[in-house]
Structure 1
Amino acid sequence: MGEWLSTTLREVANLNYGKNLPSKIRIPGDVPVYGSNGIVGWHNEAIVNKAGIIVGRKGSVGAIQLSNRPFCPIDTTYFITADDTKVDINFLYYLLRHFNLSRLVSDLIPGLNRDLAYAQEIVVPNTEIEQRRIAAVLSLVQRGIEQKEHRRPRFTTGFRKVLMYKLFTEGTRGEPQKQSEIGSIPEGWEVVKLGSCCGVVNSSISYTMLMKMDSFDSSKAVDVMGVKVSDMNIPGNEEAFINANLVRKLSRELSKKKTVPAGAVVFPKRGAAIATNKKRITTTWTVLDPNLIAVVPGEKVIQGYLYYWSQTFDLRKITDPGPTPQLNKKDVVSVLFPLPQDPDEQREITNSLKTVDKSIRGYRDQLFAMQDLFHTLLHQLMTAEIRVNDLDLEELGIKADEEQAEAV
């Protein structure tokens, strides 16, 4: 790190206190007002008449924002402009993000203490050229992330929601419509009670019982997964129960009699979790805790069709809102269910939505990969583990125009 300087934050930057600007005295305008967690409003006149960094002082302590235009930092923040630092302002922005000032907060010091922040040791490149090049690389990746995040809500929730509504009201065959108890549906469809074409079940083995059982030592044993509401939130379980904190090996015969089979749609039946409307698919024999219930597709219902339809149904419609919200089997079996008589049409609807979900997953994976790349580069560049000259932007998938490439 011979070309880098070891110093303290005090030596390279001055943290200025933000100003009191309550919402009641703000005059509508185009100047962003920054609190500790980002833009909190707008005003007609800037407090700081140039670009700068905003640092959370109270509230979202240590959060770092960058304004590329004049702005208003309120009194829950510190701010830094190019006049307040001896290093490139954009480099300092990324340096502070890497430094994680929020770790300086304690129960004794709830806000960000300026003197404590000033005392922190940092390392910076000796030359402003290198500082700017580092900032330019990180800015390229961050801009790509922001562009993807900006497009994501419209792509994921908007298009998918419209398509699901269209498929479950119009089908795929262009049939004439008819009115039913649940609205317009194709003439060849029926509206039936969910309990007439699907099983609504719990497991006969309780979650607690499964915890106490020993795994069955046999080549004929099958995996039995125990799931709770919290297992819906395990990474990888966004659509189906791929992972769980409880798994046992039981005999196939016992599993078939006492557990929920693979392909069932599971959702909460008790407590605040009902309002989340989360539904998950079982991937093996499964034991449910008492706060979950499952719908098993019958012979006339394609599993994927049931799952996607379930995502359009709001569980709150059949929930008893008492002190502890809950829904029961009798509520679920009475739900009206649009059923195409041709299983092939159910498959067509399922495949259309699977295609969309595959695109969404690909889009999401690209975004996660870019975020991982950003955090990796942030650490490696800010610790001189790698240098800008060592990077092949094209190989990393970083797209730069001529001007951006020149800056790097």
Structure 2
Amino acid sequence: MSLTTILELPSKWTIVEVGKVARIVYGKGLPSEQRAGEGGIPVFGSSGVIGEHNKALYSEPSIIIGRKGTVGSIYYVSSPFWCIDTAFYLDSISSSVDIEFLAHALRKIDLSRFSITVGVPGINRNDIARTQIPLPPLPEQRQIVAILREADEIRCLRKQANEKCREFLQSVFFELFGNPDPKLNDRGWEIVKLEDFLEVGTGGTPSRSNLSYYGGTYAWVKTTELCDSIITSTEETITEAGLKFSNAKIYPENTILLAMYGQGQTRGRTAKLGIPAATNQACAAFLPSNELLPNYLWYWFQNSYENVRDLARGGSQANLNLSILKKLKIPKPDLNLQQRFESLVYEYLQLKALSTTSLDKTDVLFKSLLSDAFTGELTSTWREQHQEELVAAIAERDQSLQISQPVDVEDVANEEASKSKISELHHDRYELLRSLSKSQREIYGFVIQETTYFTPEYLEEKHSISRSLAQKSLQLLAGTGLIVPITLPTLTSSGLRYELAYRNLNKDDNTQYTDDELLTKDAV
């Protein structure tokens, strides 16, 4: 926390390091077979609850912090739990801190910025311990928690309403059409091949080396944008030339898209075009048909997600292809039922649009309240009305934490300058990683695993990152000394040409290698 921020805090607040108000404890490993049953005790990892066990590792209210994988994730736990070794949990939480307030403070800070990406992303508990948070007197903390809890309950109710609407439409699909699996469907529908009733196509990627192909008026969809929703805008656009000199083509509104390959859960995900758009070659496009209506087809794919994914072929990264998809067999229900489902989907989407707007507003409200909570604005009126109560609480807090009031800005600065026990290299490295944005950290996580040269074009093709973002991020990483810019000789028809590329640091390039070793040994 900067000195400017400290100066802006209410006079009755102080600044403390997380390590001063709680002990950060490593979780304990638990074999997967011991957390696969119904023991009643939730087992937490960095991504949340991952199973149940019959014994608790810790029985007091606590906070789980993601250590590896989903770095910096925060879960408040009010009942006994087990925490595995991909996460930390907090112990010995000071009586001067409301645990729910501390959880909100840690979420607001975004601990993922401290992620150290050497293989699996991880976080050093010393970085968490050194992190500073604003600390109001205990009664004010509780008032902040009460306000945020009420706002969060409203937000959760809205999310639950959205989920109920989605589940309702899924139930309607099964009620009208039966099981989407042709082998299990007992409605007597004709089973047909997709290629016999609609056109199936794909797209292309204009050359990334020609900037004139991008930034035009044609929407261009990538598989990372397929998330079972309607596409009304795209991350990138292409020009007439990009369309002409590639395999990309414009598909009409109501075309159903499906990801043929992609990382993680991407393969098999869908979208419906709400606008005319082109796609890259990783998308399959199912054009509108009068016999297999768009919404029936769309929800059939969504309800057949696992079955469609299982059709993929290949080695280490299995993919779908047009040949497989064209020969897909699907029940062909009565057209009147399909039309009825079309009307229900239309009504649902209208309701969802209104609900999403409402949810967006509750999210904005919560984020605004959260921001105000840690500047003192949220409770400014309440604070004026509870002066006597706060004075007594401040004395208890300062005695408990051994704080001298008021906070002296010069003392804070001196402490920050002298307290670090780690090497100066470690500190510089820590500050560099901390300064990266989320997207820059993600890109750094990709490139640090590369053993050869890499370029913006390479990152776009391998990780579906836009070329402009990759180019800017690589330039920044090179400027901070985290990677090395080089030139690669390329033989062209006009002679030898040198192109800009990048590589990771070698052991003898500079002191970063030593720093990486220190971080790995010390942290994760």
Bin for the TM-score computed over the shorter chain:
0.5 to 0.7
How far apart, CA to CA, are the structure 2 residues paired with 1:29 and 1:274?
29
What secondary structure sits across from 2:231 in the alignment?
coil
After TM superposition, the structure 1 = structure 2 runs for residues 214-363 of structure 1, keeping only pairs within 5 Å, are 223-232=217-226, 238-240=229-231, 242-249=233-240, 259-269=250-260, 276-313=267-304, 314-316=307-309, 319-321=312-314, 325-339=318-332, 342=335, 344-360=336-352, 362-363=354-355
The reply to whether residue 13 of structure 1 matches residue 24 of structure 2 is no
Matching residue within 151, 156, 178 for 1:141: 151
Counterpart Cα distance in 2 of 1:16 and 1:211: 49
Q: Which residue pairs with 2:124 in the alignment?
A: 112
Superimposed CA distance per residue, residues 189-236 of structure 1 (whole angstroms, 9 cap, x where no aligned partner)? 655443333222346xx5327996969xxxxxx953333323436xxx
CA distance in 2 between counterparts of 1:214 and 1:168 reads 47
Quick one: distance in 2 between partners of 1:60 and 1:325?
A: 25
Q: CA deviation at 1:3?
A: 3.6
The C-alpha deviation readout for 1:308-346, integer Å capped at 9, x for no partner, is 44444543465445666455555444444444565x543
Structure 2 SS opposite 1:93: helix
Matches within 5 A, 1:396-407: none
Q: Residue type matched to 1:375 in 2? A: K
Q: Does 1:376 align with 2:368?
A: yes
1:271–1:325 Cα contact (<8 Å) kept: no
User: Residue type of the partner of 2:230?
Assistant: E
Q: Is the 8 A contact 1:266 1:280 kept in 2?
A: yes
Secondary structure of 1:307's aligned partner: helix
Q: Which amino acid aligns with 1:122?
A: I
Partner-residue secondary structure (3-state), 1:266: strand
- Cα distance, 1:148–1:209 mapped onto 2, change above 3 Å: same
5+ residue gaps, structure 2: 1-8, 383-524
1:39-64 per-position Cα deviation (integer Å, ceiling 9, x unaligned) = 5644546745x434444566655443
What is the correspondence of 1:18-167 to structure 2 with a 5 Å cutoff?
22=30, 38-39=48-49, 41-44=52-55, 47-48=58-59, 50-55=60-65, 62-70=72-80, 77-81=88-92, 84-106=94-116, 111-114=123-126, 117-125=128-136, 127-146=137-156, 155=164, 158-167=167-176
Q: Residue 8 and residue 212 in structure 1: after superposition, are their counterparts in 2 closer, same or farther (change >3 A)?
A: closer
1:263 Cα deviation from its structure 2 partner: 3.0
| Distance in 1 between residues matched to 2:27 and 2:223, nearest whole Å | 45
Q: How many percent identity over aligned positions?
A: 21
1:59/1:348 Cα in 2 relative to 1: closer, same or farther (>3 Å)? closer
What is the CA–CA distance in structure 1 between the aligned matches of 2:326 and 2:291, rounded to whole Å?
16
- Aligned-partner SS, 1:297: coil
- The amino acid of 1:159's aligned partner reads F
Q: How many residues align?
A: 361
User: TM-score under structure 2 normalisation?
Assistant: 0.54
Distance 1:298 1:163 in 2: 22
Deviation, structure 1 residue 296: 1.9
1:383 is paired with a residue whose SS is: coil
Structure 1 275/166 Cα, relative in aligned 2: closer, same or farther at 3 Å? farther
Shift of 1:349: 1.6
